[in-house]
Structure 1
Amino acid sequence: MMDNLRAASNHVVLKIILGLIILSFVLTGVGNYLIGGNGDYAAKVNGQEISRAQLERAFSNERSRQQEMLGEQFSQLASNPAYLQQIRQQALSQLVDEALLDQYAKDLQLAVSDDQIKQAIFNQPAFQTNGKFDNARYLAIINQMNLTADQYAQALRKQLTTQQLIAAVTRTDFMLPGETESLAALVSQERLVREATINVAALAAKQNVSDEEVKNYYEQNKNSFMAPEQFRVSYIKLDAASLQKAPSESDIQSWYDSHQQDYTQPQRSRFSVIQTKTEADAQAVLDALKKGGDFAALAKEKSIDPISARKGGDMGWLEPDTTPDELKSANLTQKGQLSGVIKSSVGFIVARLDDVQPQQIKPLAAVHDDIAAKVKHETAVDAYYKLQQKVSDAASNDNESLASAEEAAGVKAVETDWFSHDNPPAELNFRAVEQAIFNGGLLGDNGAPGSNSDIITVDGDRAFVLRIAAHKPEAVKPLAEVSAEIVATLKNQKAQAEAKAQAEKLLADLQAGKGMDAMKAANLSFSEQKTLTRSGQDAITQSAFALAQPTKDKPVYGISEDGQGNVVLLALDQVRSGTLPEAQKKAMVQGITQNNAQIAFEALLSNLRKEGKIKYGAAAQAQ
């Protein structure tokens, strides 16, 4: 029961209700309230029109929300027009509810002050930068929504008014202290019970079942004895890894020679720059440097580029491909050489060449093992694809068996044991392979083995070619095969019936006050007392809490079952109050009050819908 109460406190419907008016909804759909309806409309609510444009935007928002929530599953669902129409109707229903609530709030003369509007805007995280309201960000966002500040404030006022109405309905429910304590006592209640178990398995061993009973059960329950469709498959597996061979030194040298650019670091230059806005500023910097000024100090003081300025103008190592054209054209060749004033796309710069690293080529010895691994892998992959084509041609030219494919592959085909859709062999546990086996394309007439498969590639440079070696369609298992299972089932059914009848008789005797002798005669006795709480979900606990409370010194008896299917006699000796921690008690009260608030809000909406005049237009059904 506590689980149910906790669930109520987090009820998704209640959260949706409260979420209707949060500001984030305004940011995605506020324009809906400001678009007039010309032409056909979606609905009219007490004369207030919901336009096609409003519905289309609400539908788009809901569709986006569903797509984000469902991920890849959404594409499959969205292919069904009925599903999209359902989303559309949900969006329209929400718009109708919002209109009804807005109208009701006006009837109650609920109002929101200008200060409240201003505070709501200031508190909206979307309009904040580093936790503080950012006016430029605010204006940019509402501009993106094609709204003026006044239009946004008007829409926000409507939303906050509706929020005020919802709060008035959902925050008024409460529980009195006496109610809380009574409910807490009920929730935490404990029951002291004793048990006497009638062993069904022992009774089943004594039952007799005739051949006629077995046959009748089989005929009446044939659908329970279906043997699934089964396959035996012959297959050849190709694997690039199995074709790997150690490369020769000449192959390694040849690779190194033809891929030397991969092991070459081009010449690198290191520059420092000072960037200025004007040519005059750049010339002044250059003059200061020529008089012995410190480049790093001048860069930190004069450069308008904050990144390089912090590093004293240093731009780090640059390769030819990453060196700006302005620096290339400066033709700096000596370490410490200064450029003249250079005009650039960002102003003017003065540059200095700090250092040069000549081109460097890694020797073969440094990369020998890496190259050997690459050559080994690529050679195997090349051989794999050539072999794959060879085997594919052989399998398609000789479609009656895998003999030719075996010869081409140089390996014998492997044949599996029988398997079904539910337990394919681990070595064939690839989606593409299983689809080829189970889709029926490899079966001949009347389920006989058919043709060889095409080459089926899977992850990791592996491939299969296969054929169905044998096939068994789904069929009812023969009686002889399931006879023992049926006998066991019938014996258990008879034992269950006998146990229940015995329990009913003993229960009647116990309730009449003469059950102890009957219990002794049946070789049964009650166990020691055990304490059960409402948190238990097993059948015995549920049965114990369904029994009436015992009177003083007189147990109440009942019948239940345990997890093994045995029939259990229960003796309820005592009911007593437990204790509920304050945190759980608080959660219980919150859950109940929120659940009651949800019910009240739904009742309000239901009444508004019932009394309102709602007329749906052509746009409501448009796709």
Structure 2
Amino acid sequence: MFEAVRNNKRVAQVILVLISVTFGFFGIESYLSDRGAAGEVATVGGSPISTYEFEQALREQQDRIRASSETPVDSATFEDPLFRRAVLDNLVNQRLLSLFASEHRMSVSDAQLRETIANIPAFQDDGQFSNARYQAVLRSQGMNELGFQERLRGELAYQQVLSAMGEASLVPRSAVMRVLSAQLEERTVHMVRFEPAAYLSSVEVSADALKAHYEANKASYAVPARVKVAYVVLSADSLKDQVTVSDDELRAEYEQTKATLGSPEERKARHILVQVAADASEADVAAAKQKAEGLLAQIKADPSRFAELAKSASDDPGSAANGGDLGFFARGAMLKPFEDAAFALQVGEVSGLVRSDFGFHIIRVDEIRKATIPTFEEARPRIEAAVRERAASRRFAESAEQFANLVYEQPDSLEPAANQFGLKVRTTDDWVEQGATTLAGFESPALVEAVFSPAAITDKHNTDAIDVGNNTIVAARVTAHEPARQRDFDEVKSEVESQLRQKLAAEAAAQAGAAQLAALEKGDKPALKWGEPIKLQRGLPMLPPNAMAAVFAVSSEKVPGYTGVAVPGAGYALFRVDAVKKTELSETDPRIATVSGQYAQLMGAQDLRAFLTTLREQYPVKINAAALATDSNG
């Protein structure tokens, strides 16, 4: 029990960190745009959602999508009205939950708030909360401490609503068993593929068909506009070398942080727990204490029996099997009464009875690792790097607006901005095509869009300073430009013919496969070369979704059964279902509990949608379509 709670405490800290990332830091664009010119895109129960909030949420969601995608994301995705409305709906839902939480006095204590902030990685140095870093990050993002804390407090409050919704979902066991049984059903199938390659030689294409295919797909044979650019990058990293750090600053930093630079003192201990609830009756507490005193007397009589007694008598299943061994732990990992007692013992000493919220403990310390604090010279490289990084972040925050003004006010050259900040004007060697999402190694559709603007191409002006993330802004100017052009038919004739042949061959393969399926369903037995048997389980997809759905849609009453699916551009797949194996579940099957939890999450999501619908009636939502449309165009 005690070991499990110790681990769960760490899990809880991780969860707090995860939910805290729902807040978004204001990006460097806050230095480049006017916060005051906002307007409203929506109101929720009379509470406005400003244009600035919406734009910030759009940027944050775009960043999350790009970070999670293994391939570049088409910038057009982010301009899609459905994407923009989804982001706004998410903001509306957050505001609905916040209003509900506030009205029902779902508060977040100062202690909860402090713990959440302390566990946010952005505010830590070497895994430990750093107040200096906390203040520096907030300053660099243009936020004040009070505003940030109130925003986070509000988000933690509505997380309580979400948690309550998730925990309230109850799923009938019979329904879970039906779902699990269906997921575990196995089918043995054989497959025949009808490949387009087998039909290529029989495909005939006429000159008219080639021309028609070219005209129908003309846009795909166009060459997009492309540019080469010069650019200059201002980042916190680029300013590090310009930061001077004195020995006095480093020594002051060392004195402030030396306790966190090394390893804290750790204790390796065993314990025996006699469990009793914190709110137990006096009789139960007395009984538990009497049992614990009996165990303690046995240990005092023969200390070598500690591990033996822990295995047989401890109520902590997480450590009892190991003779009560809890391993090494530092301060802050255990409940305070336990921690105070353990850190007061010497090696080999056994405590008296220690009362915690879980009951009575008997503790023995087996080993002590002393705290290690590096000397100033040993810690100097790490301290200097941290101090330089903070100083560079501050300088970057101070310099961003000046940099943006310089590239805007002197639009014919990047040199003034480069000279002002000791930067180098670089150039791209390769062409950058319109519609790309990356320029000079920076994943930024906004930057690519800027270099293709009329101001950059026609007027030959610098782009604005564009925030590309990670405390980095980039300004660019076009050095070479080739407009988009349409390749004519003669130029791409061979390419058109190859694509049309492949398309027609795929269609022919699909038609042949469908004809064979129709023959099998009539009872004919065409000569087909079936592949090796494949065992499929409904809950473990091994084929594309449409193929899995088709295979498991075949009636299990009569086998063999047949089905087939067209594979876009790749012909046809024909399946023969030879065997169906259904799983009979017992009431005690451990998998039922797992599926029940997943099912409950799905039910919880449905309940949440219904709850949000109700909240929209309670707190009327008004969308300013005009402001939203203006924003999407601008």
TM-score w.r.t. the length of structure 2 is: 0.39
Question: Higher Cα Rg: structure 1 or 2?
Answer: 1
